[in-house]
Every structure is written in C-alpha cells, then in structure tokens.
Structure 1
Amino acid sequence: MKIGCIGPSDSIKLVEDVVGRCCPDVKLITYVRERAEDSWQVLDQCQRETQGTLFTGIAVQEGAKARGSVTKPYEHIPRGGYSLLRVLSEMYREGIMSGKVSIDVVSEDILVEVVKEFGVEFEKIHSMPFALHHGEQDYFDRHVELYGAGKVEAIATGFGFVYQELKKLGLPVFRLYASTLQIRDSLSRLVGRVNTRSLRSAGIAIQLIRLKSITRSSINQYDDMKNGGVFYLELLEYVRAIQGSLFNFGTEEHVIFSTRGLIESELHREHFMQLLIWGRERNIIFSSGIGIGSTAFEAEKSARKALDNASRLPKGGLFVVDGQQIRGPIGEDCELEYKTHVVDAHLLEVSKKIGISPSYLDKIKSLMNKTQKDTFDTSDLAACLGIGERSARRVLKKFLDSGHAEVNGKEVAHQVGRPKKMVRILI
C-alpha cells in the first residue's frame, strides 16, 4: 500500500524509521515541507501518487486543508503525553528544573493527564494549544515574547519551523516529537481507512440514461432515429471511459453497470458533464440517475429514484441516490444534497404543518445551508430548486400560511411590473 507522508524533514525521518521497522506492507512516499502552511503545495501530487496521506502533525494537516482539497483518506500524528514527557526529561537532563515552560500544540487535556498520571509539577506553564486562526509565526512570536519577559526558562514546540528559528536565536527550545506508538497508531488508522474505502468503492452502481428528445412524431421520426444513433456512439465512448457495461432498453433508455469507486470519481463527473454539454449543443437532451447499493436490486431501485428527479430538469442532468441521500443536479450551480427519507421528528412535524414532504423540506434546508441565505423571491427560489416560478410561488405561500416564513420587504423592479415579495423562511 502506497502511503504519502507530508511534513518537515525531522518528523518525516521519524516516520520513515517506524515504517521501515514495523510496517513491511507499507511503501512510504515522502513530501517534505518545513513550514506547515506550505503543506498544500504537495497535496495534489501526494494524492495522485498514493492511496492515503499521513500528515506529521495537526498543523500540517490543517495547512493542507486550508488551501487544498483532501479527497483521499488521511490522518495526522498527534502529540500526546509521551511526547511531553520526553521533552520534560530532556529539560531535566540539561538542568532546567524551574518548571517555567511555554508549550504549543499539546492540548490542555494532555497537560492535565501528564500532571495527574505522572505527578509532574510545573511552577508556571504557558500553554498554547493548536488553533486554526494562528499561524506558525504567531506561536514563534509568543514564545519569544514570553522568554524575553523572563516568564519562561524553556520552550517546547511541535512546529519544525518554529523549532529551527528559535534555535537560530540560541533560545532553550525542545522539539515535541511524536512517539513510535503514536506514529504506528495513526498509520494503522489510515491503513484501515484506505481498506474501508476500497471495500466501499467495490459496491454496485447502476446508471440509467433516458433520452428526452425522442418525440415519437412521424414528422420527426427520422431525425429522432438519427439523433438516437449519434448519441449511442457518444455514449459508448463515455461507457468505455468509466469502464462500465452498457445495456439498452429500446432506443430511449440505457443501463450502465459499474462500481461505486468509478462512478463517484472526479473523472466520471468530468466525462458525464462533457457528454451532457455535447448533447445540449445538438439539442439532444437526456436525463440520468445513478443508484448505489450492496445489491443490483437496491442499486437499480435507487437509480430509478434518481432518474425521476433528473427527468424534471428541462435541459436534462444527473442525480445520484445513495441509501437515503440524494445529490444533484451533479456538476450544476444548483447542486444540493438532502435526504430521500426523513426520520427526524422535528422535521416531520414542521413539514406536516407547512404541507410539503419532509424530503422537500430537507432539500430547502440544504439550499439555505449552501447559499447561506434565508430570504428568497419566487424567481430566485425557482432557479435554485430547478422548478417553475409558479411552483416556487406555491411553495413560499405554504411557508407563509403555516407561519414558517414572513414577508421581509419587496424588491423594486427595474422594469415594468409589480415589486417582488422577498420572503424570509423561518426553519
């Protein structure tokens, strides 16, 4: 199994040593970045070349996630009680006995654990646990400030960059390294996640594709047949690209069998969007639904449900149903994820009062979360939900009549016509 490791050189060297001694089935590929905030620079390369990513610390992990997209299994190596005890032991050996120390990265829980379990006493400890809104420079500046003010006699840091910079200043700094046990545990969790994902990816996926532009009209019969033939040739290329098996039900519906891993891949999404755009440019409109399940029956049932949602789109599109979750239209600006079957008692009660289905209510909640807004007019809501303005007006009226919405002003029209009501949804 290929595992990538991102972090500063000293931490990576420790990981390499542990993997070499204890993990013969793991091939470690390393990506050195001395500063945690630079870890995103090698993230894409790491994910292309490996099956999972091991970050040498929480700061390295969050630095990668801040500016990159983590799409494969990952873990970070925490700094626990043994890391702190080792540093304290080094301090004692060097004659630093006062217990006036500044420490970063280590959580307050770990500090309490070390004090209670091992009887360690500190005269004064300045703790700076890891926080997303602080950069490495912030921790460096704080350590220097505390030492300069005479408040601490020693510094313990989990940042490779901070350690090196404090060493250059000649300050008494000690590195918080991960223990062998912590490295092995983190690696074991990561390997488990990779294996789980592999099993999950092997699930059955069925994709249904239905042409919408076949009119069955005698006038357009030959054009329809021609369009159907051209579309079929393009569909064959698409199926080959995602390594699926194609079956046909007449001229209008096609069934593709594939695996979950291939269907959920970014490559699949790109290929399908290319096919969709190709069709729209030629007025060959089609809808598609993907169902995922542990059996073919379960996958096809979900695919039918997804296809029903996609068929309502005027320009066609793709929906995915996985268990009780539905996503779509995939790749479009209005893509949402919501539940097909709601069990939340509060949501069920609210949907009953409003007079819409629990699933539709969950869809609107998903829209509000995605857009970070709670106020809509009819055209806005219609565009976001992929429905007509008349339908959107009925939906908003149901919210208003049930007391789960309020008129929040009117938008002045730039053209002739009545001002649009702005409705604030209260759920």
Structure 2
Amino acid sequence: MKAKAGLLGPKDSVQNIMEIAADFQSKLEVIPYIYNEPSESEAIVEQNQHFVDFWICTGYTPYYLTKKYHKQQLFFYPRFNQGSIAIILLNILYKDRKNIERISIDSFFKQQFIDLYQENHIPLGQLHLLHNVGLPSSEIVEYHANLFRTRKVDICITSLRSVYEKLVSMNIPVYRVTATKENIKQTISEGYEKWEKFHFRNSQIAVMMIKIGEMMDTAAKDSISYDLHRLNLKIQNSVLDFAESVSGSFITTGIGSFLIFSTRGSIERNSQEGNSLLFQIELLTDSKANVGIGYGDTAMIAEKNAILALEHAEAYGTYTGFLVDDKGNITGPLHQKKTIGFNYRVTDEELSNKLKKAGVTISTYNKMASVQKNLGKHAITAADISEWLKMTARNARRILTNLEEQGLAKIIGEEVPLTRGRPRKIYRIGT
C-alpha cells in the first residue's frame, strides 16, 4: 500500500529530502510543506494532518514544535550524527583555516558536539553552545552576532536556515549543519516501516461485547415484560450512539446483550466514549453490566478474545471492562486508574509445570506479576493481591505459599500491621 508522508521544513531542506525520497516513490508519496519560519510548523500540521499518513520533519525544531500532534500521528526527523558535525569542522579547518576552538553553536544536539571535542582532545573552554529549541530565530541570531562582535568566536554553526541566512547577510562567518544523505534515507525507511506496522495494527478487527446479566436472566423468565423492553431500548440507544462514534456495526444479540464490530484504531481513538458508555448504562440500570473488547486479525480471533475479556470483566466486578489484544495480553479494568496488564499464554515449559504443581493458572500468575510491577517496589503482599485481584486474603496467602514452594516466589521480609496481629510476609514474585 502506498503511503503519504508530509515533509515539513524550509525550502532548501525540503528540496534536498524530496530528491532523496524519489528512491522510495514506488511505496511512498511525499508531499512538501514549506515554511519560512519554524514557528509556522504547528499551523501547517493542524491544517494538513488529514491529508497525510505520517510526517517527516527536516530537523528537530519543527519536530519539537509539533509535539502536541505526536499522539495523533507518527512524526520523524533525520538525526544528526558525529559524521555531519565532523564534516563541518573539517571545512572550517581546511577551507577557512579558522580555529575550531573558538566557535558558537546553536543546536539541540549539544552533547554530540561536546563528545566529539572530548574524544579528539579539543579544548572546550572557548566553545559556546546554545540549546536552540523553542527560541525565536532573532534571539539565536543575536546570540551568535554578540559573540562574534565581542571577538569571543571566529565562526558560527547553526542548524536553522533562517539563522544561517541572517548571519550571512550580516557578513558573519557561519556554517549550517545538515543531515547526511544516509541519515535521511534511514529516516524515510524508518518512517514508512513504522507507519506500515501502525496501519496494520489500527486496521485489526475489534469486537466489543456488552452484557447486562440480570436483564438477560429476567428476560428468560418473563419475555413479555414491557418495562424490561423499554429499558433495553434506552440502553440500545446509548450503545448505538457509541457504535456510530467508532464507525462500527451494531448487533443486538438479546435483551441486555450487544455486539459492536469496528477497528482497533477506532476503538483506541474513542476510549473515553467507551468509558462513558459504561457510565450511561450504570445510570440507566442497577443490573450488573460488563464490557469485553477483543482485537484480532480475523473476526473469529477478535470475537474469541472479546469473550475472554468479558469473562475477566464479569469475574472482576460490576460495570467493568477488560481488553484482550491479538498477542493474548489482557488489560483491565479499563475504566479505573488502577489497571493491570498480563498474558494468558505461556511458552516456558518449566514455568508451566511449576504452575501446575502450585495449582495456579498462568493468567493468575501473570496478574500478580503485573500488580507487583504496578506497585513499583518489586515486592507484594497477600493484602495487595486481595485488593487488586478482588479475592480473599486467605486465598491470596494460599497462592503465594504455593508459588513460594515451587520457587516462583520468594519471601523477602515482613511488615507489621497497623492493628494487632501477626507480621505479614512480603514476597517477590519471579526468581
């Protein structure tokens, strides 16, 4: 599939990259977007983001200035390496015969200059470095001009075209550091490959299952309850609104039971609306409602994952949503700040055998490991597991004891409870 890349930057840099991008024309259409000043970057992206699949910025400055859009689209820029800098310094030495110890530099990549000088034992005492990101061109020009006027530097280096042109007009010796052809090719390749992966991921089929348990039970007992059917129509209206927001197809599978088919990208972009749907159902009914979302390359896999997600949601509690992706990763509860992520698959035969002996499922083990990670202290107690996984403290202690016996958990300490009682054991899961 041919992608469209927006190329953002000053005219000369855009033209240079356009020539190199011609090598990718069989799979990539590059659309140039030229600015006179970097400050125009944000407006250009805002006005044209719907016409391109991803963006290539000619340098770090436009990349940085458009960061508010990075969650919506992929952005890339060529990295300057020490080779780019070394070429400039060699030109200064052999072409202009200037002292490379007395230079003013504006760049985001300050550390690369410092590293190059230190590695080659070049004194840094008279090197003037300015972090240029977010600064107006006029301020950067004044920085260089002031150092040159006061004879603190013999030459200037910039990465910005507008600064370069202004310093040239002031008869101040200046070089402009640019990305090498190889840097640019790598950036274009990286951009296309990541977009292709991102596009494939977003195009995966998503199935959302919504189940209101008590309504289904009541319907089975009394199929002509008018109040029940009126309530079902109200809930159906909310579900239909959500289906429309994710450009999905909507199916009623019974009283209090609904299916939505969409794409992964649409569901992820509208995650807040999904949380809002659960809240709306909660307002309409006192019945237990749960949501399961499944992603997959086929409708069958996505539906299978949605069923598994719904089972986890129902086991966790009322008005809860869980998600199972194409890799078998389970995430939830989706509407709460405290979420855990784990996998229900295991490929380690030794681990699988130990879990069987401990009487613990892989999903429970991975849930506990996820809780331990979320706590951020590489340790866990039965109380933590009880709270996060909604099980009794007694059951949590039993599981930890069994894991410890199989070498899958280790006692690393004790804590004294606030109230009277025996000290609680502190474990670390995983060895």
TM-score of the aligned structures, taking structure 2 as reference length: 0.70
Q: Which residue of 1 aligns with 2:257?
A: 253
Output the CA distance in 2 between the equivalents of 1:179 and 1:193: 21
After TM superposition, give the deviation of residue 323 of structure 1 in Å. Answer: 2.6
Unaligned 5+ segments in structure 2 are 134-139
Q: Which residue of 2 aligns with 1:130?
A: none
After TM superposition, give the deviation of residue 195 of structure 1 in Å. Answer: 3.6
Output the CA distance in 1 between the equivalents of 2:396 and 2:170: 65
Query: Is residue 295 from structure 1 mapped to residue 293 from structure 2 by the alignment?
Result: no
Q: How many residues are paired up?
A: 400
Q: Which residue of 1 aligns with 2:15?
A: 17
State the secondary structure of the residue aligned to 1:343.
coil
After TM superposition, give the deviation of residue 386 of structure 1 in Å. Answer: 4.2
Q: Which residue of 2 aligns with 1:319?
A: 322
Deviates more, 1:363-372 or 1:383-392: 383-392
Output the CA distance in 2 between the equivalents of 1:418 and 1:44: 61
State the secondary structure of the residue aligned to 1:216.
helix
Q: Which residue of 1 aligns with 2:377?
A: 373
Output the CA distance in 2 between the equivalents of 1:296 and 1:161: 53
Output the CA distance in 2 between the equivalents of 1:135 and 1:350: 55
Output the CA distance in 2 between the equivalents of 1:279 and 1:303: 19
- CA shift in 2, pair 1:70/1:237, >3 Å: closer
Output the CA distance in 1 between the equivalents of 2:336 and 2:46: 24
Output the CA distance in 1 between the equivalents of 2:196 and 2:340: 29
Output the CA distance in 2 between the equivalents of 1:164 and 1:366: 54
Paired amino acid for 2:302: A
Equivalent residue in structure 1 for 2:53, among 51, 54, 64 = 51
Q: Which residue of 2 aligns with 1:202?
A: 203
Q: Structure 2 matches for 1:13-412, cutoff 5 A?
A: 13-18=11-16, 21=19, 22=21, 25-29=29-33, 50-57=52-59, 70-80=71-81, 83-84=84-85, 86-92=87-93, 94-96=95-97, 100=101, 105=109, 124=122, 174-214=175-215, 216-217=217-218, 222=225, 224-263=228-267, 265-267=268-270, 269-282=271-284, 283-321=286-324, 322-344=326-348, 348=352, 351=355, 355-399=359-403, 401=405, 404-412=410-418
After TM superposition, give the deviation of residue 30 of structure 1 in Å. Answer: 6.2
State the secondary structure of the residue aligned to 1:243.
coil
Output the CA distance in 2 between the equivalents of 1:92 and 1:365: 58
- CA shift in 2, pair 1:327/1:161, >3 Å: farther
Output the CA distance in 2 between the equivalents of 1:388 and 1:201: 39
Say if 1:157 and 1:175, in contact at 8 Å, map to a contact too: yes
- CA shift in 2, pair 1:188/1:374, >3 Å: closer
State the secondary structure of the residue aligned to 2:311.
helix
Say if 1:206 and 1:300, in contact at 8 Å, map to a contact too: yes
Paired amino acid for 1:228: N
Identity %: 21
Unaligned 5+ segments in structure 1 are 113-120, 128-133
Q: Which residue of 1 aligns with 2:137?
A: none
Say if 1:2 and 1:28, in contact at 8 Å, map to a contact too: no
Output the CA distance in 2 between the equivalents of 1:260 and 1:227: 29
1:329-375, Cα deviation, whole Å (9 max, x unpaired): 22322222222212246754764575422333222222233331234
Paired amino acid for 1:260: R
Paired amino acid for 1:425: R
- CA shift in 2, pair 1:72/1:93, >3 Å: same
Q: Which residue of 2 aligns with 1:131?
A: none
Say if 1:246 and 1:254, in contact at 8 Å, map to a contact too: yes
Say if 2:216 and 2:254, in contact at 8 Å, map to a contact too: no
Paired amino acid for 2:188: L
1:155-204, Cα deviation, whole Å (9 max, x unpaired): 75658899899999999663321135533442343134324433332232
State the secondary structure of the residue aligned to 2:315.
coil
Paired amino acid for 2:295: I
Output the CA distance in 1 between the equivalents of 2:31 and 2:188: 12
Output the CA distance in 1 between the equivalents of 2:390 and 2:170: 61
CA RMSD of aligned residues (A): 5.0
Paired amino acid for 1:382: S
Output the CA distance in 2 between the equivalents of 1:151 and 1:348: 68
After TM superposition, give the deviation of residue 77 of structure 1 in Å. Answer: 0.6
Output the CA distance in 2 between the equivalents of 1:96 and 1:342: 64
- CA shift in 2, pair 1:372/1:82, >3 Å: same
After TM superposition, give the deviation of residue 84 of structure 1 in Å. Answer: 3.1
Q: Which residue of 1 aligns with 2:136?
A: none
Say if 1:4 and 1:30, in contact at 8 Å, map to a contact too: no
Output the CA distance in 2 between the equivalents of 1:369 and 1:40: 37
Paired amino acid for 2:338: C
Say if 1:5 and 1:56, in contact at 8 Å, map to a contact too: yes
- CA shift in 2, pair 1:225/1:343, >3 Å: same
Output the CA distance in 2 between the equivalents of 1:165 and 1:373: 54
TM-score of the aligned structures, taking structure 1 as reference length: 0.71
Output the CA distance in 2 between the equivalents of 1:275 and 1:298: 24
After TM superposition, give the deviation of residue 276 of structure 1 in Å. Answer: 0.3
Output the CA distance in 1 between the equivalents of 2:200 and 2:315: 34
Deviates more, 1:227-236 or 1:42-51: 42-51
Say if 2:5 and 2:54, in contact at 8 Å, map to a contact too: yes
State the secondary structure of the residue aligned to 1:290.
strand
- CA shift in 2, pair 1:98/1:405, >3 Å: same
Say if 2:164 and 2:174, in contact at 8 Å, map to a contact too: yes
Output the CA distance in 1 between the equivalents of 2:169 and 2:224: 81
Say if 1:411 and 1:420, in contact at 8 Å, map to a contact too: yes
